[in-house]
Amino acid sequence: MPRRVLLVSHPDCQAHDPGPGHPERLARLEAALEALAEDAALGPDVLVRVEAARATEQALLRVHTPGHLARVRAHVEAAARTRMLDWLEPETPVSAGSWRAAVAAAGAAIEAAERVARGEAGAAFALVRPPGHHAWADRGGGYCLLNNVAIAARAVQAAGLARRVLVVDWDVHHCDGTQSIFWEDPAVYVLSVHLWPHYPHTGAPEERGAGAGEGTTRNVAVPHGTRAPEQRRLFEEGLAAALAEFQPDLVLLSAGFDPLEGDPEGGLHLEPADLHAMTRTLLARCAAAGCDRIAAVLEGGYVPPRLGQGVVQVVRALAGLPAA
């Protein structure tokens, strides 16, 4: 019998409008929702929709500096005054609704993580935008304003729901923001499997953390031209190595869909069925290590129909359903 999966989001995630032609566009969430609705196996008894609360200022400040939050707000306020886009970073525009969207996305990530950590569901998927994993404590970039996964990790720790958190990021881009936030933290292990070399030009295998966090960062660099079977093998080996070093209470998956074949921001060759298999591997390996609590948070993926197909496959795997 399928296990219940929470689909956590907020309408304000669509308030962020980076303008016509920008890859991180509103159609991404629309395509995912349409694809999920079309899968008869993901009815309301399996996929339970939850509208999240917005993240509080306290939750944001566990990760981000006051200066960064003030800067994002200032750029959003400028966009509202001029009724034009304003630019947080060269590739990261904001609109009048971007602060509402960012706080809603962070809130959905928190809600997904906390509900799973409390045992209210076996798994959850936070369907959010803007993405988060390129946001550092003190700056944004790479289409990211706030680091949703990092904010969720700190929230469950602050609530006493999990002490040791494993972040698994398979987005095609290295999670430079997430890595930097937890670089010296032994209680959060960051595993990133990403195209190398590629934007943001961080994430070399020798980057392993520092201080008390030395050894709780692991980067798996996937060379250009790697085919899907080899990438899946690299993912499995990286995950096995991470779990040999770290026993998590909760797993947060930064679920990027830009490793799929044909993504203009990518360059890898996975298919949606590969992401189903990788999710199944993640579930099985983590359960064997004593952790069966997982919440996924949407990151990249810039071909909306492919994003939708990928989200369906990941959610099916989280529910224990076979690949479609």
- Tell me: the pLDDT tens digits for 148-203? 999 999 999 999 999 999 999 999 999 999 999 999 999 999 999 999 999 999 99
SS3 123: strand
* Phi/psi of residue 221, nearest 5 degrees: -85, 120
Alpha helix stretches (DSSP H) within 83-226:
98-117, 148-158, 176-181
Contact 92, 143 (CB under 8 A): yes
Q: For residue 275, is pLDDT > 90?
A: yes
Is the bond preceding residue 20 a cis peptide, omega within 30 degrees? no
Averaged pLDDT for residues 32-37: 98
d(CA 324, CA 316): 8
d(CA 283, CA 67): 38
* Helix or strand run (H / E) with residue 275: helix 272-288
Q: What is the pLDDT of residue 1?
A: 85
**Residue type for position 65:** T
The C-alpha angle 126, 129, 131, rounded to 5 degrees, equals 90
**Residue 266 DSSP symbol:** -
**Residue type for position 33:** L
Contact 117, 131 (CB under 8 A): no
d(CA 121, CA 117): 9
Specify the residue for token string 């990286």. 238
Q: How many CB atoms lie within 10 A of CB 21?
A: 6
d(CA 265, CA 284): 30
Q: What is the pLDDT of residue 117?
A: 98
Given 134, 173, 174, 276, which residue is catalytic? 134
β pairing state of 92-94 and 86-89: antiparallel
* Mean pLDDT, all residues of the chain: 98
Question: CA nearest 190: which of 210, 219, 214, 212?
Answer: 219
Question: CA nearest 254: which of 189, 309, 306, 205?
Answer: 189
The structure's pTM equals 0.98
Contact 10, 104 (CB under 8 A): yes
Contact 36, 29 (CB under 8 A): no
User: pLDDT band at residue 231, thresholds of 50, 70 and 90?
Assistant: very high
Q: For residue 225, is pLDDT > 90?
A: yes
What angle do helix axes 98-117 and 66-82 make, rounded to 10 degrees?
Answer: 140
Q: Is 134 a catalytic residue?
A: yes
Contact 280, 4 (CB under 8 A): no
Q: Which two tokens stand for residue 87?
A: 């630019």
Question: CA nearest 149: which of 31, 16, 256, 267?
Answer: 256
Strand positions, DSSP E, 57-200: 86-89, 92-94, 123-126, 165-169, 188-196
Per-residue pLDDT tens digits for 100-144: 999 999 999 999 999 999 999 999 999 999 999 999 999 999 999
* Phi/psi of residue 137, nearest 5 degrees: -60, -35
Q: What is the pLDDT of residue 165?
A: 99
Q: CATH: 3.40.50.20, 3.40.800.20, 3.20.20.10, 3.40.50.300. Which one for 5-319?
A: 3.40.800.20
Averaged pLDDT for residues 20-45: 97
Task: For the chain, give the percent of residues with pLDDT over 90.
Answer: 99
Contact 282, 14 (CB under 8 A): no
Sorted by sequence, the CB contacts under 8 Å of residue 225 that are 6+ apart come out as none
